[in-house]
Chains A and B, each alone.
Chain A
Amino acid sequence: MYRIRVHGRGGQGVVTAAELIAWAAIYDGRYALAFPSFGSERTGAPVEAYCSIGDAPIRSREPVEAPDAVLVLDATLLNRPRIFTGLRPGGLVLVDSTAPLAVPGVPQLRTVPAARIALARTGRAMANVPMLGAFAAASGIVSLEAVHTAVGKRFSGPVSQANRDAVDEAYTYLTEAAREADEVDAPNATTASREVHHVA
């Protein structure tokens, strides 16, 4: 089973992101279960949501404590130890950011300017939908086609197409970033990046 934890703030579409990954996995013909960390939701408060994907019905309903992937829709949360709690060794970490970031102990962290892509494509800086494209590219766990289907069913009219374009752009961004990382030495890439430290 593959487990994803999505972090962000109330109002950033954290729950929707986890749900749409589940939709995409189900459209891919797999089983999935998504649910939020339940609470009295307040705009701006840290929120997390979970998605588990597998090839058999998912019975366990406990929150994801050992994620294979962590998606962060708001980089200002990165100083919270909770973000990386239980992350499996080498697990995928995707963060919405326009600049490269380095977090000590998390060398695999990758960034995608998801909110910027969303703003340009849809007029709203919602990182959640482009993050789905980035996740599809970086993980291969859900297909781009299934993400398109999920986003297409969630949104209607011109917003739907704009969101699918945003998914494509983030997908391409991650695919090209991966290619560049293969071509460029990793240390050179990290020298320019901003350091983020945990709050003890």
Chain B
Amino acid sequence: MSPEPTLAAARRPLEGSRAVAETVARCRPQVVPAYPISPQTHIVEGVGALVRGGELEHCEFVTVESEFGAMSVCIGASAAGARTYTATSSQGLLFMAEALYNASGLGLPIVMTVANRALGAPINIWNDQSDSLSQRDSGWIQLYARDSQAACDLHPIAFRLAEELSVPVMVCMDGFVLTHAVEPLDVPGQEVVDGFLPPYAPCQVLDPAAPLSIGAMVGPEAFTEVRYLAHHRMETAVQRFPELARRYAKLVGRPAEDLARGYRLEDARTVVVAMGSVLGTLEDVVDEARGRGLAVGAVELTCFRPFPAGKLRELLVDAEHVVVLERALSVGSGGILTAELAAAGVGAHARITTVIAGLGGRPVTAKALRKLIADATARRLPPMEFLDLDHDLLRRVHARENGR
């Protein structure tokens, strides 16, 4: 089912993190603050090496004492008119949380890669999407990459989108599964990125020669309006992101990223919705199921913030059963994406099922997805399911607790 018959000549064997670092360097960031210690990826290491080696010029790489420091330096640098980038992961993102809201509230177009990882306790370094989804209300645009090529391609688009809208952007890519995988990847040439991403022209700059304050106190008389404007400004990304993605895709000769995309939706009665690297395995399993005559499709959600409600309603209009594959859990509620889809009016005429999958790095296997699709099409799925749950382990835990 591959749309690409041959390997593009430009593709080199690269680790996902390295390819993202090289792509970010092509975007010519001027300040990159980073807390270089775990939880971190090779991305900032790679950017740092490119700065030190002179390949990324006019860029200050600042090692800071914490992720809170990293985002604070991002805020200062961006407010002073510099194109600013950083990357983090897991608990590191949480440690930034306070500053994340300041960055978006101040309208600073910072771009940050989040290598998605679980949150502790218990300690777990592996992949799921709990970290970035916990910051879904932080006022940042959130884009989720299905593979490392998409992660690369989303960065120049993210910088352009952030700077046009004055809204910070998180590019989320699954930790380890993408960041540590080696595959043929195409890093855009400098001339391609220069042609797409003009130099940053900030609409407000902190300048000692012309002093002003930004982010000063706003009381009840206007705070709601400030938030209203932020909401509507971010929502313009629903139009602007696909336009920019199409323009970028033409330059690099690849299919364009979109807010959300359907896969084999023709007459699909059961549609699985997911974000991130699970899409690859899922599409393989959808192909197999189609081969067995099952009317199954998939929807890939790339843009989680702003939430493209209209696009998703359109893609899922004919679905009888929407299965939402969630790589995070809202404890006490359930699936985060499910709730968003339901609020968007998806599933008004369809059953909607939550499947919590791949928490803390448990691989989402083709075998498990095959069974999931079989259960879904046979209407055997409960409203909420945990994929590959170890029932024996749970029984032992319950027995121990009851014996106490």
Q: Which residues of A contact B (CB under 8 A)?
A: 18-19, 22-23, 26-27, 29-36, 38-40, 56-63, 65, 150
Kindly list chain B residues whose C-beta atoms are within 8 Å of the C-beta of A26: 7, 11-13, 183-184
For the complex of A and B, 5 pairs with smallest distance between CB atoms:
A59-B280, A35-B181, A23-B13, A38-B176, A56-B2
Cβ contact within 8 Å between B182 and A23: yes
Kindly list chain B residues whose C-beta atoms are within 8 Å of the C-beta of A40: 125
Cβ contact within 8 Å between A31 and B7: yes
Total count of chain B residues near the partner, CB < 8 A: 31
Kindly list chain B residues whose C-beta atoms are within 8 Å of the C-beta of A33: 181-183
Interface hit among B200-208, B328-336, B362-370, B372-380: B362-370
Kindly list chain B residues whose C-beta atoms are within 8 Å of the C-beta of A35: 176-177, 180-182
11 A–B pairs (Cβ distance < 8 Å), ordered by A = A19-B13, A22-B182, A26-B11, A38-B126, A39-B125, A60-B281, A60-B284, A60-B366, A61-B177, A62-B363, A62-B366
Cβ contact within 8 Å between A22 and B183: yes
> Known: A26-B12, A38-B126, A63-B363. Is A57-B182 also a contact (CB below 8 A)?
no
Kindly list chain A residues whose C-beta atoms are within 8 Å of the C-beta of B392: none
Cβ contact within 8 Å between A32 and B363: no
Cβ contact within 8 Å between A34 and B365: no
Kindly list chain A residues whose C-beta atoms are within 8 Å of the C-beta of B364: 62
Closest chain A residue, CB of each to CB of B6: A29
Q: Does B338 count as interface, using CB distance less than 8 angstroms? A: no
Kindly list chain B residues whose C-beta atoms are within 8 Å of the C-beta of A31: 7, 183-184
Q: Which residues of B contact A (CB under 8 A)?
A: 2, 4, 7, 11-13, 15, 125-127, 147, 176-178, 180-184, 277-281, 283-284, 361, 363-366
Closest chain A residue, CB of each to CB of B364: A62
* Contact among A22, A34, A61 with B277 in the assembled complex (CB-CB below 8 Å): A61
Closest chain A residue, CB of each to CB of B7: A29
Cβ contact within 8 Å between A30 and B180: no
Q: Shortest Cβ distance from A26 into chain B, in angstroms?
A: 4
Cβ contact within 8 Å between A57 and B4: yes
Kindly list chain B residues whose C-beta atoms are within 8 Å of the C-beta of A62: 281, 363-366
Q: Shortest Cβ distance from B393 into chain A, in angstroms?
A: 20
**Complex Cα–Cα for A33 and B278 (A):** 15
> Known: A22-B182, A35-B180. Is A60-B13 also a contact (CB below 8 A)?
no
Kindly list chain A residues whose C-beta atoms are within 8 Å of the C-beta of B2: 56-57
Most chain B Cβ neighbours within 10 Å, of A30, A39, A57: A57
**Complex Cα–Cα for A43 and B362 (A):** 23
Cβ contact within 8 Å between B281 and A59: yes
**Complex Cα–Cα for A38 and B176 (A):** 7
**Complex Cα–Cα for A56 and B284 (A):** 12
**Complex Cα–Cα for A27 and B281 (A):** 25
Most chain A Cβ neighbours within 10 Å, of B2, B11, B277: B2
Kindly list chain A residues whose C-beta atoms are within 8 Å of the C-beta of B147: 59
**Complex Cα–Cα for A40 and B38 (A):** 11
Cβ contact within 8 Å between A61 and B13: no
Cβ contact within 8 Å between B280 and A61: yes
Kindly list chain B residues whose C-beta atoms are within 8 Å of the C-beta of A63: 363
Kindly list chain A residues whose C-beta atoms are within 8 Å of the C-beta of B7: 26, 29-31
11 other contacts beyond A26-B7, A63-B363, with CB at 8 A cut-off? Answer: A19-B182, A22-B183, A27-B13, A30-B7, A32-B13, A34-B182, A39-B125, A61-B177, A61-B181, A61-B277, A62-B281
